[in-house]
Amino acid sequence: MTAAERRAQLDEGRRLFNGREFWRAHEVLETVWRSIIRDSPEALVWQGFIQAAAALLHQERRNRHGVETVGAAALEKLNGPQHPAVEFEMPHFRAQLARALTGEGDPPKLEYRTTDA
């Protein structure tokens, strides 16, 4: 996947996720995940974003078991500092996801991270 193709996929995934089209966002983000080495630390982060979309879909469908199991897996994979190869901001997203999955807030938004100074 070229850099331009990756950016287009990220833009579309972000648009869908932030529009609460979680299943479609999940599918688009999987395209990015499939384009990298699957056992890399970066791949785990992308799996976390994909699982976040799936957990929020379970929440919309009132599938508590899905929220708990898939949500816990997403939170685990998104734990830790910002991964330098991941374009989306992670720490705030993870914190907001944790609140949303317990019903204490709105779903997080996927946002591009700012460049590190």
CATH (domain of 77): 1.10.3450.10
Q: What's this model's pTM, rounded to 2 decimal places?
A: 0.92
Alpha helices in the chain (DSSP H): 3-18, 22-34, 41-60, 64-77, 91-101
Per-residue pLDDT of the chain (117 residues; tens, 9 = 90+): 899 999 999 999 999 999 999 999 999 999 999 888 777 888 899 999 999 999 999 999 999 999 999 999 999 999 989 999 999 999 999 999 999 999 999 999 999 998 754
Domain count, the chain: 1
In a domain, 116, yes or no: no
In a domain, 57, yes or no: yes
In a domain, 89, yes or no: yes
Tell me, what's the pLDDT at 116? Answer: 53
Phi, psi at residue 107, to the nearest 5°? -60, 150
Task: Report the C-alpha gap between 93 and 111 in whole angstroms.
Answer: 8
Rounded to an integer, what is the distance from CA 50 to the centroid of its chain? 5
CA nearest to 30, candidates 18, 48, 15: 48
In a domain, 87, yes or no: yes
Residue 37: which domain range?
3-101
